[in-house]
Amino acid sequence: MTLAPNKFIPFSPPLIGEEEIAEVVDTLRSDWITTGPKVQRFERDFMEFIEAPAALAVSSCTAALHLSLLALGIGPGDAVLTTAMTFCSGVHVIEQVGARPVLLDVEADTLNLDPQAIEQAIESITRALGLRVKAIMPVHLYGHPCHMAPILEIAARHGLAVIEDAAHALPARYRGKMIGGADPHTQVPVLTCFSFYATKNMTTGEGGMLVGPPALIDRARSWALHGMNHDAWKRYGKEGAWFYEIVCPGFKYNLTDLQAALGIHQLRKLSRFHARRQAIVRQYNAAFGEFEELQLPAERPEIEHAWHLYALRLNPDAFSITRNQFIAELQQQGVAASVHFIPIHMHRYYREKYGYVAQDFPVAYREYQRLVSLPLSPKLTGQQVEDVIAAVGCTIRASRRPDASPARLAATGSRYARPRQALSLHSPSIQIRRPSQSAVHPNPPSIPI
């Protein structure tokens, strides 16, 4: 199966309607295109939608993560616990404030931060490195919420803040509460960071939102705009005053009214977008559940998945080709595919600074080698979804090892003998090492992916 060149199925195209276009044009024709009244309206709408106590619109989720650390006063001598299986930005900002990112391994089914590993790490870090653990940064990977109850309990017991990376998690729910929503029972500061990047479940082109306690959001707001205590709208608007003070050495992280014009209408459509994503996932699960060569994405009963990404896992022992070749075959058939993510400890900067090797986080490393993310967007047509399903099926049938039946895999002890079940291996792992500024560490071993 090969689609015509102009029929290539993109990975995650945005769905922009006439309402967004009209709002952007209205902004362009107004007297104000940077941070102003539409940003304020977007913040209010978003805060009400997820029932958050306060909200700050910013230029990216990365900016929101950085501001969270600054608002909490985290810096040199501090440590932040986070996952090895994530995009680099959340770990970068910990480095950028001078703190130490401490990577932890993940749960085998969700690939989210493992609460057992958190407890072990807290007990080890001060003793091994002389650092103060100040916060936990869970990542709601692919849109599946982390198991927050034990994470919040551990944070409360040790007096830690929690910074949720919810770039994938709008509009996910954990135990009935939307991620980022206010929880009167939480005993620790919780800041939640969202992304509106072009591929996300709703978009402003580039952009993000930080939600949390009003006092921390106010502090983050100053850091987000050069450390000024008044933004341009407050200085140049009808009721504005020109005078301002600098209260901290801040950054340029503000969202513009042009971007907020998109966000206002994307937010209104989010429930409809989510329903379409869920429908596509049901089609994918029904089709791919027939293949013993695949493991379907996890979805625990106590959560509502945002389905930002649909990440299949291959049973490598069942194929005559590698994971990378599998993706190349899909692309040859006109279907975009990707991998989310390369674990942090496998990137050169972190390998060389901290001396990591691939096997330091065995679950993240093992699962990375068999991940394949498929197209998922409310813009996908029914025919495109069928074409994705057909391309995956065609690739499996063409690359299936003739001796790789489920019974044979089980008899030979393959760890992937029941690939549609969540793997039971539960091996929390942490690696506490002092950074090396000079030693160059070897690359991770070559892997057949």
The C-alpha angle with vertex 364 and arms to 362 and 365, in degrees rounded to 5, equals: 65
Residue 9: which of 349, 389, 433, 275 has the closest Cα? 389
| CATH number reported for the structural domain that contains residue 398 in this entry | 3.90.1150.10
Pick the last residue of a domain from 265, 289, 305: 265
What is the spatial distance between Cα 200 and Cα 315, in angstroms, rounded to a whole number? 28
**Is residue 431 included in any domain, yes or no?**
no
H/E element holding 96? helix 89-96
Tell whether 350 and 276 lie within a shared domain: yes
**Is residue 128 included in any domain, yes or no?**
yes
User: Domain count of the chain?
Assistant: 2
Tell whether 82 and 184 lie within a shared domain: yes
- The per-residue pLDDT for 243 is 84
**Is residue 353 included in any domain, yes or no?**
yes
65-97 burial by CB neighbour count: b if 16+ within 10 A, else e? bbbbbbbbebeeebbbbbbbbbbebbbbbbbeb
**Is residue 428 included in any domain, yes or no?**
no
Determine whether 167 is exposed, middle or buried from the number of CB atoms within 10 Å of its CB (0-12, 13-18, 19+): buried
Tell whether 171 and 196 lie within a shared domain: yes
Residues marked active site are found at 200
- The per-residue pLDDT for 109 is 98
Alpha helix segments (H runs only) across 322-440: 323-332, 348-354, 362-368, 382-399, 406-411
- Residue 201 makes CB contacts below 8 A (sequence gap 6+) with 143, 168, 170, 171, 270, 273, 274, 277, 306, 307, 308
Tell whether 173 and 36 lie within a shared domain: yes
Tell whether 259 and 358 lie within a shared domain: no
Q: Give me the phi and psi of 325, to 5 degrees please.
A: -65, -35
**Is residue 416 included in any domain, yes or no?**
no
**Is residue 420 included in any domain, yes or no?**
no
What is the spatial distance between Cα 244 and Cα 379, in angstroms, rounded to a whole number? 45
- The per-residue pLDDT for 345 is 98
Tell whether 248 and 325 lie within a shared domain: no
Does 291 sit behind a cis peptide bond, omega within 30 degrees of 0 on the bond before it? no
Tell whether 78 and 211 lie within a shared domain: yes
Q: Give me the phi and psi of 266, to 5 degrees please.
A: -60, -40
Could you count the other beta carbons within 10 Å of the beta carbon of residue 428?
19
Tell whether 258 and 383 lie within a shared domain: no
Q: Give me the phi and psi of 254, to 5 degrees please.
A: -80, 150
Structure tokens given for 303: 């959560």
- Residue by residue, DSSP assigns 133-147 as EEEEE-B-GGG----
The residue range of the domain holding 322 is 270-411
* DSSP-derived 3-state class of residue 430: strand
- Identify the residue whose tokens are 């909200």: 55
Tell whether 212 and 233 lie within a shared domain: yes
- The per-residue pLDDT for 313 is 98
Pick the last residue of a domain from 242, 265, 288: 265
Tell whether 213 and 278 lie within a shared domain: no
Tell whether 160 and 281 lie within a shared domain: no
This prediction has a pTM of: 0.92
Q: What is the DSSP pairing of strand 303-304 with strand 208-211?
A: unpaired
Residue 349: which of 437, 445, 449 has the closest Cα? 437
What is the spatial distance between Cα 426 and Cα 114, in angstroms, rounded to a whole number? 9
Tell whether 160 and 239 lie within a shared domain: yes
- The per-residue pLDDT for 168 is 99
**Is residue 440 included in any domain, yes or no?**
no
| CATH number reported for the structural domain that contains residue 222 in this entry | 3.40.640.10
**Is residue 207 included in any domain, yes or no?**
yes
The per-residue pLDDT string of the chain (449 residues; one tens digit each, 9 = 90 and over) reads 666 556 899 999 999 999 999 999 999 999 999 999 999 999 999 999 999 999 999 999 999 999 999 999 999 999 999 999 999 999 999 999 999 999 999 999 999 999 999 988 998 898 888 899 999 999 999 999 999 999 999 999 999 999 999 999 999 999 999 999 999 999 999 999 999 999 999 999 999 999 999 999 999 999 999 999 876 556 556 667 778 899 999 999 999 999 999 999 999 999 999 999 999 999 999 999 999 999 999 999 999 999 999 999 999 999 999 999 999 999 999 999 999 999 999 999 999 999 999 999 999 999 999 999 999 999 999 999 999 999 999 999 999 998 877 666 665 556 765 544 333 334 456 677 778 654 434 443 333 34
Q: Does residue 99 come out as left (phi exceeding 0), alpha (psi in the -120 to 50 range) or beta? A: beta
- In single-letter form, the type of residue at position 446 comes to S
